[in-house]
Structure 1
């Protein structure tokens, strides 16, 4: 089964297509369940989100994770990431997974604006699902990690609502990609008036929430230096940040490691969950999970 899933997963992720087939086939965490489907946070059909929650009862509101998937800002679907929602929910979090508008229908900053709108919707409505609107952790993979980074380090997107973001954990994200020398980045960002304002590494400040920057040592699509460089930039700016490189996984493997059959490849789920618990319980550094 594992070998079959690997054969299925690689072209799906490498081609940035929806992971619905992979998601349908893999075993899921019994401790998490989907509690809402297609909740609208805007008027566009892509402005919808799903919510997952722990099966076990809780004595009070649970901390919240908002997960942004990748796909080069041009593809992806929340329907392919139920395995992520249930995995993180089984760790004790209420989890929202939003869709967002994509290239070529939109360009920067639309996908960041949608990500911000999804977080703000969560703050206003998640209490009905047992989540705490004042304890949010942003998590993302690849292009979704970029979206999470922008919300975390640039206050113009969330404004005063950014105070609810207690930390952000990013898997294999791009944070420093000027000049725009790839088809993907040109398609998504070439219309931006101020290109430096699109780069998370140039926006780090002491006011940023703690960051956990994770990458695969075999990642040839988004180099691990993107994560280590972002962590250094945050630390030098006075914010709390840690980076970790998993030597035996690549760009696909780091998000696949959140799925039950692949958790032996890298402790991504353990590290993200430990970090999210730490920062939502009052920790102000990024040391948990390291």
Structure 2
């Protein structure tokens, strides 16, 4: 059995390639392999007036009450992405007893910095106000994101003006988790990202690393050690060092097997062999107490 499972897992990358060539995206493949028995999903909840301002809530099926809550923001260079593609993240966290919110937000070219962050703040405010209706504990609230979504989570956790605009503060967060996040990326090299941040006049205050303060929430930063898209040494390592210097509890972890894209995919059941990302995220949430 162990040998056959290992053989099947090793064949997954080739399966991904075949599915991509046949028009099936890797995210759809992961969702297709994700069971639905561990959660109850409430979809298409409106948190704002724009069609993109919606979210889904994944509640552990056998949950009683007062569960920790994670709000997840996906990546996509701030110009693509859909919450429905990340059912595997909702299932992964819900299967471990965490109420999970997966939120859409407006994208470029509809909006630029900082409007998508304002959407994130509104989604977090909705969660704090309503998550008790889904057996979640608003005092155990964590933010999480991958790639540009990790940027969103970091800015909401570090730049107090964003949550302040919706009547909250970073002190309302128990912690935040960033997967392969860009936290210090000026000058911008990616041509798709440049217009999002008004290149060449990108505002310095758009960088999460500039908003670190002593009172910031605890952080778990995870990166692919050979990430060719977002430099893990400058971004994850640099932010972790800056947080430590400010006295903020932080753990940074680096894994060799995943790349930038597959780091979040390790949350899915078929790809957890690549790295124990889910285990680390769950341990952080369980062992980081409310602020």
Cα deviations by residue, 1:90-110 (Å, 9 ceiling, x for unpaired): 111110000000011110001
What does residue 219 of structure 1 align with? 227
Aligned to 1:288: none
Q: Does 1:209 align with 2:217?
A: yes
Q: Which residue of 2 is the match for residue 68 of structure 1? A: 73
User: Does the C-alpha gap of structure 1 residues 187 and 34 become closer, same or farther in structure 2, counting only changes over 3 Å?
Assistant: farther
For 1:99 and 1:63, how far apart are their aligned partners in 2?
21
* Alpha-carbon distance between aligned partners in 2 of 1:46 and 1:192, rounded to the nearest angstrom: 28
3-state SS in 2 of match to 1:96: strand
Instruction: Give unpaired runs (5+ residues) of structure 1.
Output: 285-290
1:218 shift after superposition: 2.2
Distance 2:18 2:110 in 1: 24
Match of 1:124 among 122, 129, 134: 129
Cα RMSD (Å) of the superposition? 2.3
2:3 equivalent in structure 1:
none
Q: Secondary structure at the match of 1:264?
A: helix
Aligned to 2:152: 147
Alignment check: 8 A CA contact 1:213 1:227 kept: yes
The equivalent residue for 2:4 is none
Aligned mate of 2:50, from 27, 30, 44: 44
In the alignment, structure 2 segments of 5+ residues that lack a partner are 1-7
Matched, 1:195 2:200: no
Residue 87 of structure 1 corresponds to 92
Distance (whole Å) between structure 2 residues aligned to residue 234 and residue 101 of structure 1: 29
Distance 2:190 2:118 in 1: 23
Task: Please tell me whether Structure 1 or Structure 2 has the larger radius of gyration of its CA atoms.
Answer: 2
Alpha-carbon offset, residue 164 of structure 1: 2.0
Question: Counterparts of 1:1-290 in structure 2 under 5 Å?
Answer: 2=9, 6-7=13-14, 9=16, 21-28=28-35, 30-31=37-38, 33-58=39-64, 60-159=65-164, 160-190=168-198, 195-225=203-233, 226-279=235-288, 281-282=289-290
| Contact 1:20-1:79 at 8 Å conserved across structures | no
Aligned partners of 2:63 and 2:97 also within 8 Å = no
Question: Aligned partners of 1:231, 1:269: CA distance in 2, in Å?
Answer: 20
Partner-residue secondary structure (3-state), 2:261: helix
